[in-house]
Amino acid sequence: MDIRKPNELEMEKVLALSPQAIFEGTLGEVNPTIEKAEQLVLPLLKKGSYYLISTENNELTGWILIGGSKDQFSNKTIGFIYELYVLEEFRGNGIAKQLIKTGVNQLNQLGYSEVRLSVFAGNEAIKIYQSLGFKNRTVTMSISM
């Protein structure tokens, strides 16, 4: 497995698949168009966030989007994992775990002393995050009206 920044063609593929990543990451609550996915991702990229992709035999297997963020309460600058996705046919091979480890390592090298992420309750990725030491920090609750 190779983990690195994508070239232009690979970046186009990631952006084209981003709506699927958002759909699955929100457990089907959000089904964005490519335009909506780009509205979410492009501002992050302009602010310095970036993708790391995993490939096997030059075939895209998954990606992680990492960058900086500010804690809304303390205004502390933190590292953030904005998106993690492994293509369905490659799941169960440890790719997500390796992408997270690499992303966290890069954020640490950039000077961030803490890395956070948001995940929908019920998302299977929670088990991976917990196995790597992530802990619940906040809980968002809602009520349907």
Q: What are the boundaries of each domain within the chain?
A: 2-131
Q: What is the pTM of this model?
A: 0.93
Task: Write out pLDDT tens, residues 45-104.
Answer: 999 999 999 999 999 999 999 999 998 888 899 999 999 999 999 999 999 999 999 999
* pLDDT given at position 73: 86
Q: What is the pLDDT of residue 110?
A: 96
What's the angle, vertex CA 93, arms to CA 40 and CA 101, rounded to 5?
55
Residue positions counted in the chain: 145
pLDDT single digits (tens) 15-37: 999 999 999 998 888 888 999 99
* Residue 32 neighbours by CB under 8 Å, 6+ apart: 19, 22, 23, 40
CATH of domain 2-131: 3.40.630.30
